[in-house]
């Protein structure tokens, strides 16, 4: 992160780290019917104190390297909505509540894909 954002190593503070062992579908090489095979994958997330400019620089670099769109999310509940919609059986409309120790986030996505959100501290 320090090299991507041009900040010193002492300015980057990781608060939490999450690693998830999961599976991803991969196209079978040489397959003729569009077959897929499930392969092992690891998802890694880090909670880092940062500002939006830092995160946008990292998102842009990831987007370029992975050749896929990467967006900076500002509210945990919005990110949970996006994640929930990748789960089989979940569909809009959908509501997510994130009841944290210091704040509460809520996000609702309607049938048109519009997301309404609110955040309450304390």
Distance CA 58, CA 2 (A): 10
Q: Is the dihedral of CA 51, 44, 16, 120 positive or negative?
A: positive
Is residue 19 exposed (0-12), middle (13-18) or buried (19+ Cβ within 10 Å)?
A: exposed
Distance of CA 121 to the CA centre of its chain: 22
pLDDT band at 83 (very low <50, low <70, confident <90, very high): confident
The whole-model pTM stands at: 0.40
What are the b/e assignments for 39-57, b being 16+ CB within 10 Å? Answer: eeeeeeeeebebeeebbeb
Is residue 11 within 8 Å of residue 2, measured between CB atoms? yes
Question: What pLDDT score was predicted for residue 86?
Answer: 83
89 has pLDDT over 80? yes
Least confident of 8-22, 66-80, 102-116: 66-80
pLDDT: which is higher, 24 or 1: 24
Question: What pLDDT score was predicted for residue 74?
Answer: 59
Q: What is the pLDDT of residues 20-48, one digit of tens each?
A: 888 888 888 887 888 888 899 888 877 77
């Amino acid at each position: 992160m320090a090299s991507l954002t041009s900040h010193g190593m002492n300015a980057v503070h990781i608060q939490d780290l999450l690693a998830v062992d999961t599976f991803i579908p991969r196209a079978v090489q040489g397959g003729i019917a569009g077959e897929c095979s499930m392969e092992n994958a690891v998802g890694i997330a880090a909670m880092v104190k940062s500002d939006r400019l830092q995160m946008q620089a990292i998102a842009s670099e990831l987007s370029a390297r992975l050749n896929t769109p990467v967006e900076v999310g500002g509210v945990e509940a919005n990110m949970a909505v996006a994640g929930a919609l990748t789960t089989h059986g979940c569909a809009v409309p959908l509501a997510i509540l994130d009841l944290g120790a210091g704040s509460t986030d809520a996000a609702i996505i309607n049938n048109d894909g519009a997301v309404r959100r609110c955040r309450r501290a304390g």
